[in-house]
A and B are shown apart, each in its own frame.
Chain A
């Protein structure tokens, strides 16, 4: 297992477009990297940035958020709200030293099984090149309170450290 690194990606797929795109990819027997583990949400707008942080913290090497194309959201414009949150989250992750490729937002309509599969392949390839995320070492540091001078961030995103302590 150590010789070739296989990243684990958590995928948040919206019920109406991208989950169905993944269904279609399977139905069409499009083979793609088995590295993405999908979680269904009703709308990509349901994806709380904390879900992404949680997944990274729990050992995922990357997170894919997939929704309907802008303008095609089942809930009018939930995906636009996702887009806004995504950009904020990216800025924060950047400051924590998490590479940009590790969290990706993908648009896939229910008919775009091929595109979704390609996005998974592409992301898997990128993460293979980047290597494991190692959130604890990278973000939390030795004492678990934040590495590289972002203690404030860590205390904000790891509220449970306080509870546990």
Chain B
């Protein structure tokens, strides 16, 4: 292992006051004075604002004039200013990795009022950094070229927006969609709150643009199977499921759909409220226009007979022999816009969905009021004819409920208000009840929309509904659905008989979001939503370089927020493509081959499969380009021959000694013992037991 002689280390230490943020609790002058006496420290100063240009100048001139070879700044979190000070080092001609930061603000002065203890802790943190930096070695960031193609997963409004933004900027996009058509949930909606513009009217042109865009390769009815590589160079494998339609020949005329003799309930696009044929396009404006044959239900596939579609197809485009196609391509960045699932209302049996005919989910109602939906836009009961005289809309179904999802789904209040409005509009005589916990209407024009509804005569009842039942107690309840609720504004139990109940189901993460996050090697939170790099300042990036997220895959949100995020993700990707090359932190593992015993323990530990085993030489090697620098293999190597750049064993071991400077020497009630003092002479190689 590389054993640096300590003599050459000339360390400069700078203790920042951060105005009074640090100086108020930590005796910065004392820390600077004290550290000036420590081994290898040539210069030690305290200064009001180290991050100011004057503070940085101080470092630069000391490097030049005093010949400093390593720098420690004791200030805020490295997540705040590590880059700043590395820059200062670089400007003065010092390798930026010869720098270490001690966090005496967030981790010290802000976390306590005890001045003595804070000063003691500051000394420990600074001493840790001083000892560590003595073992730093110059490193060079790793340049990575960015492939200008981008993969967008999910063809809802988020994915459509990202794809179009990138395509219009001149970059090629592969848009992969699981369903036969793009459009996502937005295509299922009727009107959009609060402006009530027709969802299809604003979405369809965008879908068409995607379908026709020369820069977009649309892979519908396809799923990503494999993701290999890293930022700039991902290799993507996609399974394009067999449509049983020859896309070259199909004109999208729809005759096959017309002639198909079998219909099944459409659980996806029609949300279970309507039927579709077995050969189908989810909706007339589908993009691409080609239908698919639902193999599970197709009479030909089940019994080998029928072929009605094939017989009537004017262009002979039906191909029962078609097989899934595996497509592989390269991209530089990935945007995941995989959307959400609607909370399954069957999980709350006391609301009766699935048992009581006239209980509908919000998506069913969305299809019902849609002029292109199963009822042609008529609001009717399950029998298909009776118009309800009273409608109950129950908010927060599956949301804000510790039994299901604790979070607020953000859109349900607004779409519930929209539903109330649509009922008033189409059935002016019907009574509408909204059962809510709180009305959440934060957004442009949203609160105004709520007030509009208050004036339209909707009954707002505040309280979580206990149950929806058909068990009538009184004559007025016979034949009705009774909503049992505690009206918390008047403090009374109420039973409200209605004809129709709509359950405003919340949004939840895709049922397979965990598998997807593993496929793309990025994080997923407890609820299954993808984790952004920073909840406020970096909402579309993920912790994995080159992978971005947009839309409801990151958390529940409405259409405007989704579109904004989709565009933001595109901007981030475009920025990277425009740069052409990104510099990666050189925090990577390296195996000293001559010492590797070939045990292969590290091989399986690596989450990125970045370690290969050379059968011929019986040694393992880290592929630097694949390594992400977590250091798991470094910690696991039984021979201690994997070093993790910038987090080497000697760096960390020295830091441990540094942060424990006071208990090692003064005792703090502990007796310094012979063997502890002895060990200081031998700390540099903790893991290699040299004979």
**When each residue 9-22 of chain A gets 1 if its CB lies under 8 Å from chain B and 0 otherwise, what string results?**
01000001001101
Cα(A33)–Cα(B673), bound, Å? 27
Q: Which of B121-129, B143-151, B368-376, B378-386 contacts A (4 or more CB under 8 A)?
A: B121-129
Cα(A41)–Cα(B630), bound, Å? 8
Contact across chains for B631 and A140 when beta carbons are under 8 A apart: no
Contact across chains for B531 and A164 when beta carbons are under 8 A apart: no
Contact across chains for A75 and B630 when beta carbons are under 8 A apart: yes
Q: Which residue of A lies closest to B678 (CB)?
A: A164
Interface residue? B220 (CB, 8 A):
no
Chain B residues numbered 102-129 whose CB sits less than 8 Å from any CB in chain A = 103, 105-114, 117-118, 120-121, 124-125, 128
Contact across chains for B111 and A136 when beta carbons are under 8 A apart: no
Cα(A58)–Cα(B679), bound, Å? 9
Interface residue? B663 (CB, 8 A):
yes
Contact of A58 with B656 at beta-carbon distance under 8 Å, contacts A37-B128, A50-B686 already known: yes
Specify which of A20, A29, A68, A81 is in contact with B79 (CB 8 Å cutoff): A20
Specify which of A19, A24, A32 is in contact with B112 (CB 8 Å cutoff): A32
A30 proximity list for chain B (CB < 8 A): 111
Interface residue? A163 (CB, 8 A):
yes
**When each residue 59-78 of chain A gets 1 if its CB lies under 8 Å from chain B and 0 otherwise, what string results?**
11000000011011111111
Contact across chains for B664 and A59 when beta carbons are under 8 A apart: yes
Specify which of A1, A23, A58, A159 is in contact with B660 (CB 8 Å cutoff): A58
Interface residue? A94 (CB, 8 A):
no
CB proximity of B231 to chain A, nearest CB, Å: 14
A40 proximity list for chain B (CB < 8 A): 78
Specify which of B124, B521, B668, B676 is in contact with A57 (CB 8 Å cutoff): B676
A85 proximity list for chain B (CB < 8 A): 635
Interface residue? B597 (CB, 8 A):
no
Contact across chains for B635 and A23 when beta carbons are under 8 A apart: no
Contact of A72 with B524 at beta-carbon distance under 8 Å, contacts A8-B660, A60-B660 already known: yes
CB proximity of A68 to chain B, nearest CB, Å: 8
Interface residue? A161 (CB, 8 A):
yes
Specify which of A2, A10, A74, A144 is in contact with B656 (CB 8 Å cutoff): A10
Contact across chains for A45 and B682 when beta carbons are under 8 A apart: no
Interface residue? A97 (CB, 8 A):
no
Contact of A27 with B652 at beta-carbon distance under 8 Å, contacts A78-B607, A81-B605 already known: no
Chain B residues numbered 639-691 whose CB sits less than 8 Å from any CB in chain A = 644, 647, 649, 652-653, 655-657, 659-660, 662-664, 668-671, 673-676, 678-679, 681-682, 686-687, 689-690
Specify which of A5, A8, A75, A140 is in contact with B628 (CB 8 Å cutoff): A75
Cα(A75)–Cα(B663), bound, Å? 34
B669 proximity list for chain A (CB < 8 A): 1-2, 5, 132
Specify which of A58, A69, A144, A161 is in contact with B664 (CB 8 Å cutoff): A58
Contact across chains for B526 and A10 when beta carbons are under 8 A apart: no
CB proximity of B682 to chain A, nearest CB, Å: 5
A71 proximity list for chain B (CB < 8 A): 514, 523-524, 526
Contact of A46 with B632 at beta-carbon distance under 8 Å, contacts A34-B108, A59-B676 already known: yes
Contact across chains for A54 and B656 when beta carbons are under 8 A apart: yes
Cα(A8)–Cα(B128), bound, Å? 14
Interface residue? B77 (CB, 8 A):
yes
Contact across chains for B631 and A37 when beta carbons are under 8 A apart: no
CB proximity of B478 to chain A, nearest CB, Å: 51
CB proximity of A122 to chain B, nearest CB, Å: 15
Contact across chains for B607 and A8 when beta carbons are under 8 A apart: no
Interface residue? B586 (CB, 8 A):
no
Interface residue? B242 (CB, 8 A):
no
Chain B residues numbered 144-202 whose CB sits less than 8 Å from any CB in chain A = none
Q: Which residue of B lies closest to A85 (CB)?
A: B635
Chain B residues numbered 613-639 whose CB sits less than 8 Å from any CB in chain A = 628-632, 634-636
Contact across chains for B128 and A22 when beta carbons are under 8 A apart: no
Interface residue? B5 (CB, 8 A):
no
Interface residue? A48 (CB, 8 A):
yes
A29 proximity list for chain B (CB < 8 A): 110-111
Q: Which residue of A lies closest to B607 (CB)?
A: A76
Interface residue? A127 (CB, 8 A):
no
Contact of A38 with B690 at beta-carbon distance under 8 Å, contacts A1-B669, A5-B669 already known: no
Specify which of A16, A39, A72, A158 is in contact with B655 (CB 8 Å cutoff): A39
Q: Which 4 A-B pairs have the closest CB atoms?
A: A26-B106, A46-B631, A59-B663, A45-B632
Chain A residues within CB distance 8 Å of chain B: 1-2, 5-6, 8, 10, 16, 19-20, 22-27, 29-34, 37-43, 45-51, 54-55, 57-60, 68-69, 71-78, 81, 85, 111, 117, 132, 134, 136-137, 140, 144, 158-164
* 16 more A-B residue pairs beyond the given contacts A6-B668, A8-B662, A39-B659, with a C-beta to C-beta distance below 8 A: A19-B77, A22-B106, A22-B107, A23-B79, A26-B108, A26-B111, A33-B112, A34-B117, A39-B656, A47-B635, A51-B656, A58-B664, A74-B523, A75-B607, A75-B608, A140-B675
